[in-house]
Amino acid sequence: MSDDIQLQWRVTTMDCYPNFSGEKDYVFNVHWDCLTYYSGISGGPFYGRTFSVTAVPINTGSFTPYDKLEETQVLDWIWGVMGTGDKEKFEESAFQQIYSQIKPPVVQPTLPWQPDVFPIIAPTIVTQPVSGYSLMSGMNGNIFVQANGQPLNYTWHKDGIDITGYNFGNYIFNNIQPEQSGYYDVTIYNSMGSVLSSGCNIEVLLPYPPSIYEQPVNTSGYLNNPASFSVSISGYPIPTFQWRKDGENISGGTYQNYSFTITNESTGVYDVVVNNYLGEVISDSATVTLLPPLSPV
């Protein structure tokens, strides 16, 4: 602690129980603070924070009448309750508070040179947001606009209502939820003018397991003129497919194959497994019969 700063603890008021057990004004709470004089600055004193402590003197010997108390005695009670280590912490705290009152203020004089000034250019939009797209609930995504001009400020809107606290040209969705579906656009502006972007419809889809609403049907075809069959399904995310022949997976019969073509060596029983992360469903079986080619007329 600086030698230029002198701290002085003092008692400001004391709370008493009048005539407690027949004794006059028994002290039970002491209010105290810290003041200082700083040799480098005229004036003062400077005041620290006001503290309070319950400081009933316990095992201190004979009772001292209120009008015989001395300040040093009461301060000794305080440090007896707080402890020497706490006294050092309080003094450091008081020093920091008082120093903040007496340290020289911060000034910001005029710069000794002319600050750079850039021209303000009205905004124009170079790339509009996409017209709209769908996101599955819980996914991340973004809407992007590119503009020329300086400086540029952005206010995004959802269904015509300002979105506060977002001043960027790239509006980001994290863990998007259904209530964020809507119509989004953005106003780009500065002191020279403003421009409103085109809008973008965002649809937030809830995932659901796959189902088959049109099953494959039995079919036949002639050799060298193969037959095919298909299914119609629903589900989100869009399901994947695994076509099977006689219960065995068909190589290449995967991903989004709504239909499957039967070669002339492939007479058998076919079905398809449709799957997304919420579940899977197996189609009805369909028998494919390939017939000999017709005799030429």
- 197 or 65: which carries more pLDDT confidence? 197
- 262 or 175: which carries more pLDDT confidence? 175
**Once rounded to an integer, what is the mean pLDDT over residues 76-104?**
75
Angle at 223 between CA 217 and CA 225, to 5 degrees: 70
User: What CATH number was assigned to the domain covering residues 121-205?
Assistant: 2.60.40.10
What is the location of CATH 2.60.40.10 in the chain?
A: 121-205, 208-291
DSSP element (H, E) containing 97: helix 84-102
List, in sequence order, every residue forming a beta bridge with 157; answer none if it has no partner.
162, 185
Q: Residue 279's pLDDT band (boundaries 50, 70, 90)?
A: very high
Residue 184, sorted as left (phi over 0), alpha (psi -120 to 50) or beta, turns out to be beta
CA distance 212 to 60: 90
Q: Mean pLDDT score of the chain, rounded to an integer?
A: 81
pLDDT value at position 76?
Answer: 83
Q: Residue 105's pLDDT band (boundaries 50, 70, 90)?
A: low
pTM above 0.75, yes or no: no
Highest mean pLDDT among 61-70, 144-153, 219-228, 238-247: 144-153
pLDDT value at position 198?
Answer: 95
CA distance 9 to 218: 100
Structure tokens at 102: 């007496």
User: What CATH number was assigned to the domain covering residues 208-291?
Assistant: 2.60.40.10
Dihedral angle, C-alpha 57, 61, 62, 63, nearest 10 °: 0
Q: Residue 1's pLDDT band (boundaries 50, 70, 90)?
A: very low
Q: Is the pLDDT of residue 59 over 60?
A: no
Structure tokens at 259: 């239909």
Helix (H, G, I), strand (E, B), or coil: what is residue 100? helix
